[in-house]
Structure 1
Amino acid sequence: MTSRGAKYWSSGAIPLIAPEMLGEIIATASDISIVISLEGKILSVLVNAGHRAHGQLDHWEGRDIRDVLTEDSQPKLEAKLTLFAGGSESAKPVELNHSDGENWDFPVRYSFHRIGPDGRVLLMLGRDLRPIAEMQMQLIEAQMALERDYETQREYDTRYRVLSEATRDAFVFVGTRSGRVVDVNPAACALLGASRNDLMGSPIAQEFEGRRRAEFVEALNARALDDTSEPIQAEARRSRTPVKIVPTAFRAAGEPLILCRIDPTETGESVGSGMSETLTAFFNEGVDAIVFTDPDGVILTANESFLGLADAPQVSSVKGRSLGDYLVRGGVDLRVLVENATRSGQMRMFATKLAGEYGAQISVEISATYLSDQAHPSIVFVIRDASRLEGVRRPGVAVSDDAMRSVMELVGSATLKDIVAETTDVVEKMCIETAVELTRNNRVAAAEMLGLSRQSLYVKLRKYGLLSRDGSGD
C-alpha cells in the first residue's frame, strides 16, 4: 500500500478499490454475501471460497429471498426491508435461517448495508452460525450426559446406602494414608459400641485396645495384600468385644482405601455353632409359642407356633406391636409379666388368656425370662396352650379344705345369707392374695388386675389384714 493509501485509513476515509477486487474482498470478509433489492429480489450471491459448506448458490440469483428462508425468519426480513424502505438505518444484525431443499437448512447472522447510487440496493453480509450451533449442541449433549451420570451416581449411592443399612455384616472404610474412618455402617457402630458421628473421621486404631495408628494401618495393608494370612485379632475398646478383622484394599477415584469387615470372635466355636443351630431349629419348629420382645414388651420376633395361637398371617404383621395387644387383659397382664421378669430375671406359669387377631380367646400359661444383655436387653416369653386342661379343672375359684370346712360348719348355725357372705369373703380374700402375690406386692398393678381402684384395694387389704406384708410396691 502506498503512503497515500495509508493516509486514507488514518484520516477515516476509505481508499479507492478497483471494481474487480471489490467482489473478492466482500466474499472474503464474510461467509456468504447477498445483494438484494428493497423488494427482496436476489441480485447477486457471493460465497467465501474458504467456506464451501454452503456449496454453489448461483441458482438463488433472480429469486425472491423469501423463497430461501424458513417461515419463522420471513417476518424478521420483512421488518428490515420495511425499515430501509422508510429511509431509516439499522446496524443491528439479524439471524435468518435459510432453507433450500427438503432437509437442508442453516442459520446465518446478517448485517444490512445500503449501497447503490439511489440507495435501493442492500448488501447482506452473513456469518455462518452452524459452528456456533454445533458447539451449543455439543454443550447441551455434554450437560445432558453430566445429568445422566449424576442420576446414575445418585442411584448407585442410594443402593450402597440401602445395602449398608440392611446388611448384618459390620464393615468400616478406612483411608490408607490417613488411617481414619471414611465410612461405617450401623452394624459396625453397634459392634464397636459407638455412634456414627463419633467414628467418622476418627483414627481406626483408637477403636481397638493396644493399637497404634501407624502399626495398625501397616498390619491392615499387609493382611489385605496376603489372602492366605489369618484375620487380625483385636478387642473393641468401647464394647470390650473380641473381634477379627478382614481387610480388603482397593482404590476409589484414585484414593487408596481399605474395607475392613469386622466379625465378633466366637468362643467355643464348635460347641457354640452347633448349639446355635439347635436353638434356632427349636425356635422355628417348637410346639410352644416363643416371643422375643424389648424391655417394654414390643415384639421383636416370634415363631410359627405363636402365629398359630394369634391367628397372625406372618411375622411382619406382629413385629413392632405390643405383646399386650394379644392378651385379654392387655397392659395389666403385660405389666405384671415385664416387671416381674425384669426384677427377678424370670416369671413362671402365669395363667391368662390370649386373644387372636379375630377375637378368639384361648387359655394359656406364660413364662418370661429377662436376657440382661447390656447392648440389647430383651425378654423371652414362652406361651403354652392350656385350653385342654380347662376340662379337667374344677370350675370356679379353688378353695382350700380348711375354708370349705369352716363354711360347712356354718350350716345349721347360721342363715343362708350369712353363709353366702362368709363364702364371698373367703373367695375375695383368696383373689386379693393371689393378685398381690402375682404382682410381687405391686399394689397398683394388683388393683388394675382385679379391676379395683387403688383406694378400694387398700380398704380390702386392711379388712383382711394383708397390709402388714413387706414392701409397698407402689
Structure 2
Amino acid sequence: MSDRIRVGVLPAPSRIEWIIEQFADLAVAIDRDGRVLGLSVSPESPYLGCLDHWIGRDFREFLTEDSRSKFEDRIATVLADPDAVVRPMELNHVDNANWEFPIRYTIHDAGEDYGILLLGRDMQPFADIQQRLVREQLARERDAERFRGVETRYRVVFDASETPMAMVEPDTGRALDLNRAAMQLLSVKTDNLSANAFAQCFEGRRKGEFGEALRAAAAADDAQGVTAVLRRTGGEVRLCPEFFRASGEVALLCRMMPVTDEDQSGREFQNALAQLYESTSDAIVLTDAKGAVREANEGFLRLTDAAQLRDVQGRPLADFLARGAVDMKLIFEQLDKTGRLRGYAAQVESVVGMRATVDISAARLTGRADRQIGFILREASATQAISVAEAGATMSEEAMTNVMDLVGTASLKELVGATTDVVEKLCIETAVRLTDNNRVAAAEMLGLSRQSLYVKLRKYGLLDSASEAGGDE
C-alpha cells in the first residue's frame, strides 16, 4: 500500500498501512477533486480483482449513476466541515467490464496535504444473501399462488360434483372434507362433522367396526363397497371407498350413492346369478381370449374330477377335451363369426382319464378389456346316444359309440385298417356333422387333405348332401 497511499508524517507508516489493510476490504485515497491517488485491496477480497487502472482517474468514473449523486453529497459535507460526522455510504462500483459490486465506505479527511481517505467494506456477500433471500421469497410467493390456484380448482371441482363424496382419515375415522352433495345427503355441515367420527352419520355403526369395513372395501378387488343407513333420513346408501396418498399421508375418498329400488333388484339379481353359478349341476367355465381357464364352478370341478380350483386354473381348456386343439379351433372359429356357440358335441377327459360326452355352449363376454369367454358344458347322455344311433343305423349302439370315441384321436387310415368301409363312412358323416359341414375343419379332424375328403365324399355319395347342407366353409 505504501506505493499508492501516502501517509505523510503519520508515525509508523508501515503499521498504519497494516491496520488499514486489516480494517478495509478496499481503501482508496482521493484528492479534493475526486482524483484517485492510491488504493489497496485486502488479500481477503481477491475477487475484487486488480484496480490499478483507477489511479490517476476520477473516482466518479467507477460509480453507477445513482451512486455518484450520493458520493457528491457526502464529499461536499466533508469538504465544508472536516469535523462533521458523516454517516457511512454504500456505493455501487462499475469497472470497464461493467462489473458491479457494492462497497460500504467511511469517509476520513486527512487534511490539505493528504486528501480524503475512503475505507470500504465489501458488501457483495451481503448482497448475494439478500438476492438469494429475495429469490426465495419470490419463489415462495409463486408456490403459494400456485397452491392457492390448485386449492381453488380442487374446491370448485369437488363441490361442483353431483356425486356425494367424503374424505375420511382411515385410522381415526374422522371426516376430513365433504363436498356440497355429501352435506346435503348427510344433512350435516363440515364444521359440525370435522370433530366427530364419520360413523356417527349412519345408523347402528360403531367407529371401529365402520372404519375397518371401509378399509377392507377399499383394499378389495371388487367394487361392492359398504352399505349403510343414514341416521337423519333413514335412507340407504352405498359407500365406495378408495385409498389415496397426499403429502405422505393416506386417506380414504368415499363416494356415496343412494340405493334405489332398481339398485336393490340389481343386487338381488347378481346374488341370484352368483348362487346359480355355484350350485348348478352344469359346468361353467370362464377363460381368457386364448382359452386358458380363469374361473370355474363346482360343476366343472366334478366333471373333470379336480379337487380344487387351482388344479384347473391357468390351464388351457383344450387339456380337458378329448379332441383338444381341434375342438377349441372349431369353437373359436364359430365365436369369431357370430360371437356365440351352442350345441357343440365334444368329450371331456378328466384328470384321471375318465371321459364324458357334453354339449358345449359358449359366448364372448363383451364390454371387458380382457375379452373373456364363457363356456357352459352340459352332460349329454340319452340325447347324444339317440343322435349317434341315427347317424349310423347299420351298427350297434355300442359299436357306434366306440367309433365316435375314436374320431379325432387317430388318423382315418388307422381307423379304416381296423374297421370296414361302413366305419369310414360313419366317421366322415360324424366329422362333417360335428364341424357343421366345415370341410376344411372336417379334413383336419380326420387327418386328411381337403382333396382326399372330397374323393371320399363322392365315394359314399355324401357330396351332394354336404353341399346342400352348408357349402365349402
**Deviation (angstroms), 1:236:** 1.2
1:184 matched to 2:173? The reply is no
- Kindly tell me: are residues 235 and 17 of structure 1, through their superposed partners in 2, closer, same or farther at Cα, counting changes over 3 Å? farther
Aligned residues: 257
Per the normalisation by structure 1, the TM-score is 0.50
1:96 matched to which residue of 2? 91
Whether the 8 Å CA contact 1:182–1:201 is kept in 2: the answer is no
**Deviation (angstroms), 1:61:** 0.9
**Deviation (angstroms), 1:17:** 6.9
1:105 matched to 2:97? The reply is no
1:163 matched to which residue of 2? 157
Of the three residues 109, 121, 134, the one matched with 1:140 is 134
2:232 matched to which residue of 1? 238
- Kindly tell me: are residues 17 and 243 of structure 1, through their superposed partners in 2, closer, same or farther at Cα, counting changes over 3 Å? farther
1:59 matched to 2:57? The reply is no
SS of equivalent residue, structure 1 residue 136 = helix
Identity %: 40
Query: How far, CA to CA, are the matches of 1:25 and 1:99 in structure 2?
Result: 27
**Deviation (angstroms), 1:43:** 0.9
- Kindly tell me: are residues 17 and 175 of structure 1, through their superposed partners in 2, closer, same or farther at Cα, counting changes over 3 Å? farther
Query: How far, CA to CA, are the matches of 1:165 and 1:108 in structure 2?
Result: 57
1:227 matched to 2:221? The reply is yes
**Deviation (angstroms), 1:119:** 6.0
Alignment of 1:316-355 (within 5 A): none
Of the three residues 18, 35, 43, the one matched with 2:37 is 43
Query: How far, CA to CA, are the matches of 2:175 and 2:113 in structure 1?
Result: 79
SS of equivalent residue, structure 1 residue 72 = helix
After superposition, what is the alpha-carbon deviation per residue over 1:341-375, rounded to whole angstroms, capped at 9, x for unaligned? xxxxxxxxxxxxxxxxxxxxxxxxxxxxxxxxxxx
**Deviation (angstroms), 1:185:** 0.9
Query: How far, CA to CA, are the matches of 1:52 and 1:95 in structure 2?
Result: 20
Whether the 8 Å CA contact 2:183–2:190 is kept in 1: the answer is yes
- Kindly tell me: are residues 193 and 66 of structure 1, through their superposed partners in 2, closer, same or farther at Cα, counting changes over 3 Å? closer
Of the three residues 255, 269, 275, the one matched with 1:261 is 255
**Deviation (angstroms), 1:202:** 2.5
**Deviation (angstroms), 1:268:** 3.8
SS of equivalent residue, structure 1 residue 251 = strand
**Bigger shift: residues 130-139 or 57-66:** 130-139
Whether the 8 Å CA contact 1:28–1:49 is kept in 2: the answer is no
- Kindly tell me: are residues 240 and 36 of structure 1, through their superposed partners in 2, closer, same or farther at Cα, counting changes over 3 Å? same
Query: How far, CA to CA, are the matches of 1:111 and 1:255 in structure 2?
Result: 56
1:115 matched to 2:110? The reply is yes
- Kindly tell me: are residues 190 and 81 of structure 1, through their superposed partners in 2, closer, same or farther at Cα, counting changes over 3 Å? closer
Whether the 8 Å CA contact 2:74–2:86 is kept in 1: the answer is no
Query: Which runs of 5 or more residues in structure 1 are unaligned?
Result: 1-15, 274-474
Of the three residues 90, 104, 125, the one matched with 2:119 is 125
Query: How far, CA to CA, are the matches of 1:193 and 1:215 in structure 2?
Result: 23
**Deviation (angstroms), 1:193:** 3.1
Whether the 8 Å CA contact 1:233–1:244 is kept in 2: the answer is yes
Query: How far, CA to CA, are the matches of 1:269 and 1:207 in structure 2?
Result: 22
2:78 matched to which residue of 1? 84
Whether the 8 Å CA contact 1:90–1:112 is kept in 2: the answer is no
SS of equivalent residue, structure 1 residue 73 = helix
After superposition, what is the alpha-carbon deviation per residue over 1:223-270, rounded to whole angstroms, capped at 9, x for unaligned? 323334731121111121111112122333344322111112233439
Query: How far, CA to CA, are the matches of 1:44 and 1:114 in structure 2?
Result: 15
Query: How far, CA to CA, are the matches of 1:62 and 1:264 in structure 2?
Result: 91
SS of equivalent residue, structure 1 residue 38 = coil
Task: Give the letter for the 1:121 counterpart.
Answer: G
- Kindly tell me: are residues 177 and 17 of structure 1, through their superposed partners in 2, closer, same or farther at Cα, counting changes over 3 Å? farther
Task: Give the letter for the 1:261 counterpart.
Answer: R
Query: How far, CA to CA, are the matches of 1:78 and 1:141 in structure 2?
Result: 33
Query: How far, CA to CA, are the matches of 1:63 and 1:131 in structure 2?
Result: 27
Whether the 8 Å CA contact 1:111–1:124 is kept in 2: the answer is yes
Whether the 8 Å CA contact 1:184–1:200 is kept in 2: the answer is no
Whether the 8 Å CA contact 1:243–1:265 is kept in 2: the answer is yes
1:213 matched to 2:213? The reply is no
Query: How far, CA to CA, are the matches of 1:192 and 1:35 in structure 2?
Result: 82
Q: CA RMSD of the aligned region, Å?
A: 2.4
- Kindly tell me: are residues 261 and 271 of structure 1, through their superposed partners in 2, closer, same or farther at Cα, counting changes over 3 Å? closer
Alignment of 1:270-281 (within 5 A): none
Whether the 8 Å CA contact 2:77–2:86 is kept in 1: the answer is no
SS of equivalent residue, structure 2 residue 168 = strand
SS of equivalent residue, structure 1 residue 74 = helix
Query: How far, CA to CA, are the matches of 1:121 and 1:103 in structure 2?
Result: 28
After superposition, what is the alpha-carbon deviation per residue over 1:411-457, rounded to whole angstroms, capped at 9, x for unaligned? xxxxxxxxxxxxxxxxxxxxxxxxxxxxxxxxxxxxxxxxxxxxxxx
Query: How far, CA to CA, are the matches of 2:262 and 2:219 in structure 1?
Result: 30
**Deviation (angstroms), 1:150:** 1.5
Alignment of 1:15-54 (within 5 A): 18-54=12-48
Whether the 8 Å CA contact 1:194–1:238 is kept in 2: the answer is no
**Deviation (angstroms), 1:53:** 1.6
After superposition, what is the alpha-carbon deviation per residue over 1:28-59, rounded to whole angstroms, capped at 9, x for unaligned? 32111101112211111100112112100111
After superposition, what is the alpha-carbon deviation per residue over 1:362-398, rounded to whole angstroms, capped at 9, x for unaligned? xxxxxxxxxxxxxxxxxxxxxxxxxxxxxxxxxxxxx
1:72 matched to which residue of 2? 66
Query: How far, CA to CA, are the matches of 2:196 and 2:98 in structure 1?
Result: 64
